[in-house]
Amino acid sequence: MADRRFHRHSGALALGEIARIAEIELPAGADAGRSFDDVAGLDDAGPSNVTFLDNRKYLKALAATKAGACFIHPSLAGRVPAGCLALGAKNAYRAYARVAAAFHPPAVPVSGVHPTAFVDPAAVLGAGASIGPNATVLAGARLGAGVRIGPNAVVGENVELGDACVVGAGASISHAVVGARTVVYPGARIGQDGFGFVPDPAGHVKVPQLGIVRIGTDCEIGANACIDRGSASDTVVGDGTWIDNLVQIGHNVKLGRGCVIVAQVGISGSTEFGAMVMAGGQAGISGHLHVGDGARIIAQSGVHRDIGPGEIVGGSPAVPAMEYRRQAAALRRLAQRKGPEEDESEP
């Protein structure tokens, strides 16, 4: 269960309200007025908690759960133990997420400028903006209504933040235009110089980075992620794209709508992703490539070629997923073979 010292709690919810929020139908005979006070995992849940199962790997934990109700795919409803109400949901994790958000809504920010913050007189703050302790908002910056700037964060000159954006503690944003409802987590760096230079034995020559970063609406930029501004064109992050912690996005990169970029991915300059691309953790993508809509890159892959729409690739260098799996299986079989000099049997 959530620790209420850190997570705001809205109070108990009736089963009928839980069903409405989760967009499911209650099973026949269920008491719509029955009260639940929180969500919890299978192992920790008690009779007043709602839990979920969306992976058969946890069927053993389901059998032992003490939860009062469980979101579960209808095909597995019969596996729910006695005393736990099966709440049929085609996407149990989505149902759980919606209900968890209802039990634990975000804190309502207090608008205004903290006494220790600095806001340049030439900056524009929208209605209800909140500027935290020691934060800095420089000249020409334009913050929309309800924007929240965390402690020690820096919003640079002429940066634009859309309505209801959130900038976490210690983050810095320069040379950027950010759409509404985008969340920038603590320590992220947006708009700094791209890594552009001309090698020269006498000393590398810096290439001026003259673009900006354009981030769409409803995006998430993870903690300590870095997004470089463009060199000649702009770096672009499409609407609804979610970027995990510790991601590096090079100059002129363009990410389409709804992409998911997992922790420690690095995307080199001028590479373009289409819509709904997913890149697994620690994948590295070379520069000047094109990755088509809906493509998926398996974790720790090294991508050195264009990837077509819907293609799934893995390995280094990345190849189609089935070929990658065959290579891994062949290597495993090869490693299990013993040559004459490796025979460990007794003479």
The candidate with the shortest Cα–Cα distance to 244, out of 209, 269, 216, 220, is: 220
Q: What is the assigned CATH class of domain 13-103?
A: alpha beta
* Segments of the chain assigned to CATH 3.40.1390.10: 13-103
| One-letter amino acid for residue 225 of the chain | A
Note the pLDDT of residue 176. 98
The count of residues in the chain is 347
Predicted local distance difference test score (pLDDT) of residue 257: 98
Q: What is the pLDDT of residue 343?
A: 56
* 8 A C-beta contact, residue 91 and residue 72: no
SS3 content of the chain, % helix, strand, coil (to 5): 15, 25, 60
Q: Tell me the C-alpha distance between 180 and 162, whole Å.
A: 4
Report the CATH superfamily, name and number, of domain 109-170.
Hexapeptide repeat proteins (2.160.10.10)
Domain 189-340: assigned CATH number = 2.160.10.10
Predicted pLDDT at 344: 54
Active-site option among 7, 251, 290, 304: 251
Query: Could you read off the pLDDT tens digit of each residue along the chain, which spans 347 residues?
Result: 789 999 999 999 999 999 999 999 999 999 999 999 999 999 999 999 999 999 999 999 999 999 999 999 999 999 999 999 999 999 999 999 999 999 999 988 889 999 999 999 999 999 999 999 999 999 999 999 999 999 999 999 999 999 999 999 999 999 999 999 999 999 999 999 999 999 999 999 999 999 999 999 999 999 999 999 999 899 999 999 999 999 999 999 999 999 999 999 999 999 999 999 999 999 999 999 999 999 999 999 999 999 999 999 999 999 999 999 999 899 889 988 866 665 555 54
| Rounded distance between C-alpha atoms, residue 88 and residue 84, angstroms | 12
Residues of CATH 2.160.10.10 domain(s) within the chain? 109-170, 189-340
Residue 339's pLDDT is 64
Burial-class residue 201 by CB neighbours within 10 Å (0-12, 13-18, 19+). Answer: exposed
Q: Give the tokens for residue 77.
A: 């409803």
Q: Is 104 noted as a catalytic residue in this protein?
A: no
Interaxial angle between packed helices 15-22 and 92-103, expressed in degrees from 0 to 180 and rounded to the nearest 10: 120
3-state secondary structure of 94: helix
C-alpha span between 219 and 79 (Å, rounded): 37
pLDDT at res. 341: 63
State residue 110's pLDDT score: 86
